[in-house]
Amino acid sequence: MSAVWKITMSKLEGSKTVVVGGKKDTPQQYCGTVGGQSTDFSTMDTEVKTTHLKSNVLAPPDFKTNSIQGITWRLGLGIDDPTQPEEWQNHPADVNLPLTTDTVNNPVAIWKQVVATVF
């Protein structure tokens, strides 16, 4: 689900937010890339290489290290603080469900646990 939709529903409509997993006894946050288009270097580099454009002057150079670089355009400004991007703001989850042997890799069991806990 879109981060803009989740945040709007939570902050403006009061919907509950649930995070599954995470470190026990650590408040979990929900969010994502808000209002932006995002990609990463490896995706762009793969597309350049598969189209045989790596020799083009505009093609990005290869990383010399084992690195990851994310790229986001047009961050959405916040609802509570419109001077900062929304994804920089606080988004505490209402419920943090731990993963268990019954719920790990089992979306149906996760949804049943969400229903039992939230509703």
Residue 108's pLDDT is 96
Q: What is the mean pLDDT of the chain?
A: 87
Q: Give start and end residues of each alpha helix (H) in 16-118.
A: 41-50, 107-118
pLDDT, tens digit, 9 for 90 and up, residues 43-87: 888 999 999 999 999 888 888 888 888 877 767 888 889 998 888
Task: Name 60's Cβ contacts closer than 8 Å, sequence gap at least 6.
Answer: 41, 44, 45, 48
Q: How confident is residue 1, by pLDDT bands cut at 50, 70 and 90?
A: low
Q: Does residue 88 have a pLDDT over 60?
A: yes
Q: Please, are residues 18 and 94 in contact by the beta-carbon 8 Å criterion?
A: yes
Task: Name 78's Cβ contacts closer than 8 Å, sequence gap at least 6.
Answer: 84, 85, 86, 88, 89
pLDDT, tens digit, 9 for 90 and up, residues 3-17: 777 888 888 899 999
The span from the CA of 59 to the CA of 48, in Å, is 7
The model's pTM: 0.61
